[in-house]
A and B are shown apart, each in its own frame.
Chain A
Amino acid sequence: MFDIDRWREIFQSINKNRLRSVMSGFTVSFAILLFTLLFGIVNGLSNSFTSAFVDDAQNSMQVRVRKTTKPFKGLQTGREIQLRNDDYNFVKDTYKDKIQYQSARIYKNFTLKYKNEANNYDVRAVNPDHQFLEKTIIDEGRYLNERDLNEKSKVIVIGRLVKEDLFGEKPALGKRLNVNGSSYLIIGIFSDEGGDNEERIAYIPVTTAQNIYGNNDYISQINLGYNPNLSLDAAIAFGNKIERDLRKKLNIHPDDQSALSVRNMAEANKGVGMFMGALYAIVILVGSGTLVAGIIGISNIMIFVIKERTKEFGIRKALGATPASIIGMVVQESVLITTIAGYLGLSLGTYILSLIGNNLEEKYFIKDPSVSPAIVIAATVVLILSGLVAGYVPAKRAANIKPIEALRAD
C-alpha cells in the first residue's frame, strides 16, 4: 500500500492512459454528484420543517376551549366552555406520571407603563413550568416561581422588546412597572426564538391574575408537556384521552372538536416524521440506485480496461510479477480513481449546494441544503469499497490467466 514504487507504477499507468482513467472516473463522479445533491436538498427540506417548530417545546400539548357546536344531555349548542382551576388540578392529579410540565394560561392585554413610556402588550398569566413549555430564555433575573404563585405576588417577567420599548438602554430589572394601574416588580427579562411577537409580551403569576382581575378561578387554556419517555403514538393516545376525559367532565359531546380540543405536538411531529421518513426512504432508494449504477459503471470499465491490459500483465508475469502484485496494482489504481473521482463529485455537489444556500427557502421550502460529515464519510467508504470490488474481481481473473495465454492475448 505504501510502496512508493507501486504508486509510481500506478500514476504512470493512469497518466499514460488518461482517456481510460477519466472514463472510469466520470461515472463515479457523476453518481456521487447526484447523490450529494439529492441528499443535500432533502436535508434542506428537513431543515425547513424543523425550524418551523423551534418556537415551542417538541413535547408540548395545549388544551383549548371554545363554544360547543353539538347539543349534549339537554345542553344547547353555542354554550361557552370555561376551564377552571378544578380542571387544571384534575389533569394534574389524573395523569401525573405522563406529564413533564404543566401550566395554566390566561390571556390578558394590558397597558404597561414606566415613567412616560406606555404601551399595550399581551400579558400571559402562567405557572412556572410555562418557561419550559414555551422555551423562554431568561436573559436577566429569573422566571416566575412557586412562591410567587402562592403569595399571589405582583411580579412580572417582561420580553426583551418590552424592555427595549419602555426602558431603552436603561436597566429594567428591579424597577417597578405600572400594569393596568397597579404596580408590579420586574423580576426578569427574557428572549424567545419564536420571533419578535413572542418577545413583545410579559408573564405574571396565574394566581395574581385570578385574584386581581375578576376574582375567579377561570383559566384560558392548559399547556402541557408530555413525558418525553412516551413514544409518539403513546403521546397521541394520551392527548386523545385528555380530550375524552375533559369533555366528559365538562358535559361536552364526545365528538365536539370545537368545544374542547387538545393541540398535540406529537401529532404534528408524527406527520412530519412520517413525511421526512418517506422522503429519506425515497432518497436512500434513489441515492443507492445512483451509487450502484456508478459502481456497475466502473466495474464494467474495469473489466474492459483489464481485458485491454491482459497482454501487459502477461509480460509483467514473464518478468517476475506475482499474481498478488498484479491484483494489488489494479485494485490500488481502481481505488485511487474511484476515490479521486468520488471526491471531485462530492466537492462539486457541496459547492453547488453552498451556492444554493438559502436562495430557495421562500419558493421551494429548502433551507441550507447540505450533507452531513457522516454522509460524506459513509459515501467515501462506499467509494473505496466499490473501487476495491470493481478492481478486485476482474483483476483476480486476469491474474489467474496463465502467463502464456496472457502473452498471446491482443
Chain B
Amino acid sequence: MIRIEKMHKSYPIGKDSLHVLKGIDLHIKEGEFVSIMGSSGSGKSTLLNIVGLLDIHDEGNYYLNGELIKDMNEKKAAILRNKFLGFVFQSFNLISYKTALENVALPLYYKGINRKERLEIAMDYLDKVGLKQWANHLPNELSGGQKQRVAIARALVTKPKVVLADEPTGALDSTTTDSVMDLLKDINDEGMTVFVITHEEEVAEQTKRIVRLKDGVIISDELTNIGKAV
C-alpha cells in the first residue's frame, strides 16, 4: 500500500537547510495498523505529510497503492487524496461555519456525489462514531473528543484505503483517547490501513506495529503484542 525507499526531506531555513528525513525505508501493507513514535522534532509529521501528499519529498521513491508519486501536480494530488486518503489531525481541522454533518459530507462534495446522498452517507458515519444527535451542531458546540470523532467520520466517509492520523489523541484526556483508539481499531478491523503518530506508549501498544524514528532515521520497527497475535 505504502512503499518508501531511501526518502530524504529537508526544509530550507534562510540560507541553510534542515535535513529532517535522512533515508527512510518503510513498507506498509494493506490492512496494517502502524504507529510512529519518536521524540519531538524527529520528523514524524514530516513523514506523514509526505505520505499524505500534503508535502513533497526531495529524494527517494514513494509508491502509493503501487503508483510512483513523482512530479505530482496539485490537481492530481487532490484527486488521489480524495480517493485513497483520510486525514485525522491533532487540532481536528473542522470548518468552523459548517455543522458536524456538513463537515463530514465535505469530502463527498469533492468526490462529486449529490447533496442528498452525501448527507445520508455522512449521517451514517456520524452514527458510527456515536454522534448522530450532534449532526446539526457547529464544531464550537462540541467537546474535543466529539470533534475528533467528527474528524474521524470525515476521514472515513470516502472509504479511503489509508487513514493518516497525526497525534489524534494528543489533545484528548484518557477516556476520550480510548474511545478514539477503539474507533481506529474498528476501522482497521474493517480492513483499512491505519497510520498513526503518537507520543503515548499506551496508544502505540494498541496498534499492531511500532516504528520508531530518531533524528530522521528509523531506529526500530517491531510488531506489538497485538500484532504478533494476529
- Provided the pairs A319-B106, A322-B75 are in contact, do residues A407 and B93 lie with their beta carbons within 8 angstroms? yes
Q: What's the minimum C-beta distance from B80 to chain A, rounded to whole angstroms?
A: 9
Tell yes or no: B154 within 8 A of A by CB: yes
Tell yes or no: A402 within 8 A of B by CB: yes
- Provided the pairs A315-B95, A323-B78, A324-B75 are in contact, do residues A9 and B55 lie with their beta carbons within 8 angstroms? no
Tell yes or no: B111 within 8 A of A by CB: yes
Chain B residues numbered 69-119 whose CB sits less than 8 Å from any CB in chain A? 74-75, 78-79, 81-83, 87, 89, 93-95, 97-98, 102, 106-107, 109-111, 114-115
Tell yes or no: B42 within 8 A of A by CB: no
- Give the contacting residue for A9; candidates B56, B79, B109; CB below 8 A: B109
- Give the contacting residue for B81; candidates A4, A318, A323, A402; CB below 8 A: A318
Q: Which residue of A lies closest to B45 (CB)?
A: A404
With an 8 Å Cβ cutoff, the count of chain A residues facing the other chain is 28
Q: Which residue of B lies closest to A400 (CB)?
A: B74
Tell yes or no: A180 within 8 A of B by CB: no
Cβ–Cβ contact A320 & B107, under 8 A: yes
> Considering residues B75, B78, B95, B158, which has the most beta carbons from chain A within 10 angstroms of its beta carbon?
B78
From A11-19, A77-85, A159-167, A283-291, the one touching the partner chain is A11-19
Cβ–Cβ contact B79 & A319, under 8 A: no
Cβ–Cβ contact A12 & B98, under 8 A: yes
Cβ–Cβ contact B54 & A404, under 8 A: yes
Q: What's the minimum C-beta distance from A313 to chain B, rounded to whole angstroms?
A: 10
Q: How does the 8 Å CB contact mask read for A313-337 relative to B, with 1 for contact and 0 for none?
A: 0111111111111000000000000
For A316, list chain B residues within 8 Å (CB).
95, 106, 110
> Considering residues B89, B94, B106, which has the most beta carbons from chain A within 10 angstroms of its beta carbon?
B106
Bound together, the chains give a CA A323 to CA B79 distance in angstroms of: 11
For A314, list chain B residues within 8 Å (CB).
93
For B89, list chain A residues within 8 Å (CB).
407
Cβ–Cβ contact B78 & A317, under 8 A: yes
Q: What's the minimum C-beta distance from A51 to chain B, rounded to whole angstroms?
A: 55
- Provided the pairs A5-B115, A9-B109 are in contact, do residues A320 and B93 lie with their beta carbons within 8 angstroms? no
Bound together, the chains give a CA A162 to CA B185 distance in angstroms of: 106
For A317, list chain B residues within 8 Å (CB).
54, 74, 78, 81
Tell yes or no: B38 within 8 A of A by CB: no
Cβ–Cβ contact B98 & A320, under 8 A: no
With an 8 Å Cβ cutoff, the count of chain B residues facing the other chain is 29
Cβ–Cβ contact A402 & B115, under 8 A: no
Cβ–Cβ contact A321 & B110, under 8 A: yes
For A404, list chain B residues within 8 Å (CB).
49, 54-55
Q: Which residue of A lies closest to B91 (CB)?
A: A407
Cβ–Cβ contact B107 & A403, under 8 A: no
Q: How does the 8 Å CB contact mask read for B31-60 relative to A, with 1 for contact and 0 for none?
A: 000000000000000000100101110000
Bound together, the chains give a CA A399 to CA B74 distance in angstroms of: 9
Q: What's the minimum C-beta distance from B172 to chain A, rounded to whole angstroms?
A: 19
Cβ–Cβ contact A407 & B54, under 8 A: yes
Bound together, the chains give a CA A318 to CA B166 distance in angstroms of: 13
Cβ–Cβ contact B97 & A403, under 8 A: no
- Provided the pairs A13-B97, A407-B89 are in contact, do residues A322 and B78 lie with their beta carbons within 8 angstroms? yes
Cβ–Cβ contact A315 & B107, under 8 A: no
Chain A residues numbered 1-28 whose CB sits less than 8 Å from any CB in chain B? 4-5, 8-9, 12-13, 16-17
Bound together, the chains give a CA A311 to CA B94 distance in angstroms of: 10
Cβ–Cβ contact A320 & B111, under 8 A: yes
Bound together, the chains give a CA A324 to CA B49 distance in angstroms of: 22
Cβ–Cβ contact A320 & B78, under 8 A: yes
Q: What's the minimum C-beta distance from B195 to chain A, rounded to whole angstroms?
A: 15
Cβ–Cβ contact A320 & B97, under 8 A: no
For B98, list chain A residues within 8 Å (CB).
12
Q: Which residue of B lies closest to A317 (CB)?
A: B78
Q: What's the minimum C-beta distance from A316 to chain B, rounded to whole angstroms?
A: 7
Tell yes or no: A312 within 8 A of B by CB: yes
Bound together, the chains give a CA A321 to CA B82 distance in angstroms of: 8
For B74, list chain A residues within 8 Å (CB).
317, 322-323, 399-400
Q: Which residue of B lies closest to A323 (CB)?
A: B74
Bound together, the chains give a CA A308 to CA B56 distance in angstroms of: 25
Q: Which residue of A lies closest to B87 (CB)?
A: A318
For A315, list chain B residues within 8 Å (CB).
93-95
Cβ–Cβ contact B52 & A318, under 8 A: yes
- Provided the pairs A5-B109, A8-B115 are in contact, do residues A319 and B81 lie with their beta carbons within 8 angstroms? yes
Cβ–Cβ contact B110 & A320, under 8 A: yes
Bound together, the chains give a CA A399 to CA B93 distance in angstroms of: 18
Bound together, the chains give a CA A318 to CA B103 distance in angstroms of: 13
Q: Which residue of A lies closest to B107 (CB)?
A: A319
Q: How does the 8 Å CB contact mask read for B128-147 relative to A, with 1 for contact and 0 for none?
A: 00000000000000000000
Q: Which residue of B lies closest to A321 (CB)?
A: B110
Q: Which residue of B lies closest to A403 (CB)?
A: B54
Cβ–Cβ contact B97 & A12, under 8 A: yes
Q: Which residue of A lies closest to B98 (CB)?
A: A12
Bound together, the chains give a CA A403 to CA B74 distance in angstroms of: 9
Q: What are 18 contact pairs spanning A and B, CB under 8 A?
A: A5-B109, A9-B109, A16-B97, A312-B95, A315-B95, A317-B78, A318-B52, A319-B82, A320-B81, A320-B107, A321-B78, A322-B79, A323-B74, A324-B75, A400-B74, A402-B55, A403-B55, A404-B54
In addition to A13-B97, A316-B95, A317-B78, 16 A-B residue pairs with Cβ atoms within 8 Å of each other are A5-B109, A16-B97, A311-B93, A317-B54, A317-B74, A318-B52, A319-B82, A322-B74, A322-B79, A322-B110, A323-B75, A325-B110, A399-B74, A402-B55, A403-B55, A404-B49
B residues sitting closer than 8 Å to A (CB atoms) are 49, 52, 54-56, 74-75, 78-79, 81-83, 87, 89, 93-95, 97-98, 102, 106-107, 109-111, 114-115, 154, 158
**Which 6 A/B pairs are nearest by Cβ-Cβ distance?**
A320-B82, A16-B97, A320-B110, A404-B54, A322-B78, A319-B107
A residues sitting closer than 8 Å to B (CB atoms) are 4-5, 8-9, 12-13, 16-17, 311-312, 314-325, 399-400, 402-404, 407
